[in-house]
């Protein structure tokens, strides 16, 4: 889908723009937006209001076909609720507009809405949310079906913007398009079956990105991983015939003295649970256990599209977790890259076993911050459901700032997180009689003890952990990857450029 900005001036007066549909706003007190006033020269909008066919309530809509004295073929009158429009009402209105236009023979659409009149928000926020809703409604996951639906009719969307907002809107559109491209990649990877999306396939995707955007790339194979003494990571990988890959992407476009942001994504391309086998029902969804890795790759696609002037490194430990004669057994003890030993009480707590070595590896970059992204615990779904991702950091000045920045970024792009505690008292649950720590801490506070486990490998830098087990994909009739938290990660990186 192509996007563009049209500047509101005498050369682009609304009544002269030839398009399949112009979307204009109506407030719930029957007051017209400036664009609606400009197109009401023959009274078509006023008569629609007087007839009661549209109320102006948020999400209400009325389609007017072939209006007189207007070049556009259709007008879509869209209820915006009260002025200024509440965030929820704006998103509901956009949802309605897209659902109304989608089944019609509309090839191009012009949005002439007051994007700067959303309560406590600006034009950039409005443009992002419009593109996000378009992405949600037009995303397709039927690439592997033998028969596919015809492509969508809508191919072009334009924003009608006052001239004084043109520069801001143009940059907002550029960034929003990049985020959507990153989300699309993350969703596509997440939705692929595990017989296609293997560790080697993830490595190939990283290679494709590096070639397209000139990223530096390292892909370490099993022997190289062994030479780094990543015993914890390798213990998970050894149960599968698929070779593990340790992927490192580098976008070093910042000042040479600037410390990098490091993103670490969990890349378990299929998680059977290993010897601690998961129940069969729903196990197909464990192809989504690499959504942390997909989020890192998706974020790097957005970074590449935008050419951010920052130093950013992505690390992806990728393997499968399968039962075999070589697989980890409950009670096994392994030695991590850090030298700390781990008693594996449950082989289904494998994500932390691959992440701990990746987090130790991150030390070599002397990072400004490290953020790991992982579908780590079912306990996080119990705690937060499918709305908020879990956010974990230590509790000190540097980590509080990182948490606050991530929460602000989440709000900017509607990719919510909720901060949960990490306290020394929870570390007691990870005690082992035979090793430095156990890999699980029992049922109580399961997402917190998982984060506490990771925290033991991050004490040389500022770190945050995002548990996306409840937000990386949806189940049921809407089954599929969501692309989260690509928006959050991008918003955080954008904030660092300000």
Contacting residues for 66 by C-beta, under 8 A, at least 6 apart: 73, 74
Terminal CA-CA length for the chain: 29
Residue 448 and residue 436: Cα distance in Å, rounded?
18
Contacting residues for 278 by C-beta, under 8 A, at least 6 apart: 271, 272, 286, 348
Tokens found for residue 342: 């781990």
Beta-strand ranges (E) seen in 181-310 are 216-220, 245-252, 261-265, 267-271
Region of 274 please: left (phi>0), alpha (psi -120 to 50) or beta.
left
Residues 334 and 231: beta-carbon distance below 8 Å: yes
Which member of 73, 156, 229, 278 is catalytic?
Answer: 278
Per-residue exposure over 168-201, b if at least 16 CB sit within 10 Å of its own CB, e if not: bbbebbebbbbbbbbbbbbbbbbbbebeebbbbb
- SS3 label, residue 385: coil
Per-residue exposure over 301-328, b if at least 16 CB sit within 10 Å of its own CB, e if not: bbbbbbebebbbbbbbbbbbbbbeeebb
Residues 240 and 267: beta-carbon distance below 8 Å: no
Residues 270 and 321: beta-carbon distance below 8 Å: yes
Which member of 91, 121, 352, 484 is catalytic?
Answer: 352
Active-site residue, 82 included: no
Relative to beta strand 2-8, strand 156-162 is parallel
Active-site residue, 10 included: no
Would you please indicate which residues are annotated as catalytic (active-site) residues?
Answer: 278, 352
């Amino acid at each position: 889908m192509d996007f563009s900005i049209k500047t509101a001036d005498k050369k682009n007066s609304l009544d002269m723009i030839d398009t399949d549909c112009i979307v204009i706003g109506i407030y719930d007190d029957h007051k017209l937006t400036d664009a609606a006033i400009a197109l009401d020269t023959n009274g078509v909008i006023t008569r629609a209001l007087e007839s009661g066919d549209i109320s102006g309530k948020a999400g209400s809509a009325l389609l007017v076909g072939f209006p007189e004295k207007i070049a556009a073929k259709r007008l879509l009158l869209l209820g915006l609720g009260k002025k200024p429009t509440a965030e929820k009402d704006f998103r509901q209105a956009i949802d309605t507009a897209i659902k109304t236009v989608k089944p019609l023979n509309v090839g191009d659409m012009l949005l002439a809405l007051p994007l700067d009149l959303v309560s406590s928000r600006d034009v950039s926020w409005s443009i992002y949310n419009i593109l996000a809703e378009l992405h949600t409604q037009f995303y397709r996951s039927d690439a592997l079906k033998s028969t596919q639906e015809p492509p969508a009719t809508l191919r072009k969307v334009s924003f009608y913007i006052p001239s004084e907002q043109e520069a801001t809107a143009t940059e907002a559109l550029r960034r929003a398009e990049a985020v959507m491209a990153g989300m699309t990649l993350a969703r596509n990877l997440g939705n692929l079956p595990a017989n296609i999306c293997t560790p080697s396939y993830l490595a190939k995707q990283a290679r494709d990105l590096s070639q397209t955007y000139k990223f530096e790339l390292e892909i370490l194979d099993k022997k190289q991983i062994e030479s780094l003494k990543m015993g914890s990571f390798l213990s998970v990988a050894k149960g599968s015939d698929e070779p593990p890959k340790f992927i490192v992407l580098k976008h070093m476009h910042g000042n040479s003295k600037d410390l990098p942001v490091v993103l670490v994504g969990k890349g378990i391309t299929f998680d059977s649970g290993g010897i601690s086998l998961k129940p069969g029902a729903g196990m197909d969804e464990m192809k989504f256990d690499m959504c942390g890795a997909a989020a890192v790759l998706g974020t790097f696609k957005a970074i590449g599209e935008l050419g951010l002037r920052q130093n950013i490194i992505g690390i992806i430990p990728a393997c499968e977790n399968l039962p075999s004669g070589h697989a980890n057994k409950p009670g096994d003890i392994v030695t991590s890259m850090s030298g700390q030993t781990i008693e594996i009480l449950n082989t289904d707590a494998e994500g932390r076993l691959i992440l701990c070595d990746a987090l130790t590896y991150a030390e070599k970059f002397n990072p400004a911050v490290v953020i790991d992204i992982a579908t780590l615990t079912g306990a996080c779904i119990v705690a937060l459901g499918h709305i908020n991702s879990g956010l974990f950091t230590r509790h000190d000045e540097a980590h509080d700032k990182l948490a606050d920045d991530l929460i602000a970024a989440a709000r900017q792009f509607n990719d919510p997180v909720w901060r949960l505690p990490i306290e020394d008292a929870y570390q007691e649950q990870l005690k082992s009689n035979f090793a430095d720590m156990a890999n699980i801490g029992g049922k109580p506070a399961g997402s917190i003890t998982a984060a506490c486990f990771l925290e033991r490998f991050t004490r040389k830098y500022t770190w945050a952990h995002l548990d996306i087990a409840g937000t990386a994909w949806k189940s049921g009739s809407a089954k599929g990857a969501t692309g989260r938290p690509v928006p959050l990660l991008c918003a955080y990186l954008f904030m660092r450029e300000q």
